[in-house]
Amino acid sequence: MPVITSIADLKRLHRRRTPKMFYDYAESGSWTEQTFRENTTDFEQIRLRQRVAVDMTNRTLRTQMVGEDVAMPVALAPVGMTGMQAADGEIKAAKAAEAFGVPFTLSTMSICSIEDVAENTTKPFWFQLYVMKDEEFVDNLIERARAAGCSALVLTLDLQILGQRHKDLKNGLSAPPKPTPRTVADLAFRWRWGLEMLQTQRRTFRNIVGHAKNVGDVRSLMSWTAEQFDPKLDWEKVRRIKDKWGGKLILKGILDAEDAKKAVEVGADAIIVSNHGGRQLDGALSSIRVLPSVVRAVGDQIEVWVDGGIRSGQDVLKAVAMGAKGTMIGRSYIYGLGAMGQAGVTKSLEIIHKEMDISMAFCGKRDIKDVDRNILLIPEDFEGRWQA
């Protein structure tokens, strides 16, 4: 086993051990992938201010996200088909998050169901909702999340229609993978993944199969999914979902200050500045570039979080310094899951925690709640001069 010291190390192992179509699903964006790339590279433009001769003892990264105590300002983002990165992947990720003390978010498009995760964890997790045309199915999802004890609902707003995801189309992405000659050849080199997958019955979208109308197998699932995302999702429907849920509501996919203000108006508890990891509108700004304008617009009225491009504890620290009350990581923990299962998710969290802790100390801070923009050096034109 190689020595693992960074998220990049986990990414390399993930690529070796996971079938190509599922690695590409995680490690790709839409169309030209410009936004996908800039989510990461824009973090690199921000520098940290080193301070010396300061007391570095008794440091803490502990804080809260929507009133929940967290070991650091990080939650595991909802990622579709996590159970294809490793057998029972959602359960393994949820267990790792629970043990570490950070929230886990289960995707509507998960392999393990809401009930699967609830039966294998002891603390509440969050559930991410996609709004489908089948309102009865959506209502049922909300009720299932409530019955499972989910402590927050994460409503994704930026997937009313599917982005241009070229790699997924070329790979013939499906869960489980179709037995084409290319897929069979690829799996022959990932035999450990295959053996583990054979030991579980969780190999398709268990939140949907058996719950949506006329969806009882993979073939009916594919046709149902292709036409179900609701392009009519609007703020009034968001308000109705909030009322139906009745608990903490987090809105994911905000990339504009005006939309952030709308989120405040409908009574959301938190918003996530996000471009869906660069998998929806290619050519949109990176999340970290948009974050300051959203914080200025609504930051004192609602919790503002950010996701997209976070690959280190320094990235989390920079996001917090720019006004985010929390962050979500997707690919960073997926690399760990694909590389080493539950232990890999734990490793990714340990890496991010250590990097954040050490960097915060070098910046002269001992408590993550005291971190602000004064620890940063930001290019003068970082937010850009754009004409609208």
Residue 343 sits in a domain whose CATH number is: 3.20.20.70
pLDDT digits (tens, 9 = 90+) for 43-63: 999 999 999 999 999 999 999
The model's pLDDT over 172-223, given as tens digits with 9 standing for 90+, comes to 888 888 889 899 888 888 999 999 999 999 999 999 998 998 887 766 776 7
Q: Residue 327 belongs to what domain range?
A: 7-377
**Residue 23 annotated as lining a ligand binding site:** no
Give domain status of residue 383, yes or no.
no
What is the DSSP secondary-structure string of 243-256? HHH-SEEEEEEE-S
Whether 25 has a binding-site annotation, put simply, is: yes
Is residue 1 in a domain? no
Q: What is the pLDDT of residue 161?
A: 92
If one counts the domains in the chain, the total is 1
The verdict on whether residue 330 carries a ligand-binding annotation is yes
Q: Is 156 annotated as a binding residue?
A: yes
Tell whether residue 165 is among the known ligand binding residues: yes
Q: Does residue 133 lie in a domain region?
A: yes
How far is Cα 244 from Cα 234, in angstroms, rounded to an integer? 15
Q: Is residue 34 one of the residues assigned to a domain? A: yes
Residue 166 falls in the annotated catalytic set: no
Angstrom distance (rounded) from CA 55 to CA 324: 25
Q: 14, 211, 276, 353: which one is catalytic?
A: 276
What is the pTM (predicted TM-score) of this model?
0.96
* 300 membership: H or E segment, kind and range: none
The CA distance from 356 to 382, in Å, is 22
- d(CA 124, CA 75) in angstroms, rounded, equals 13
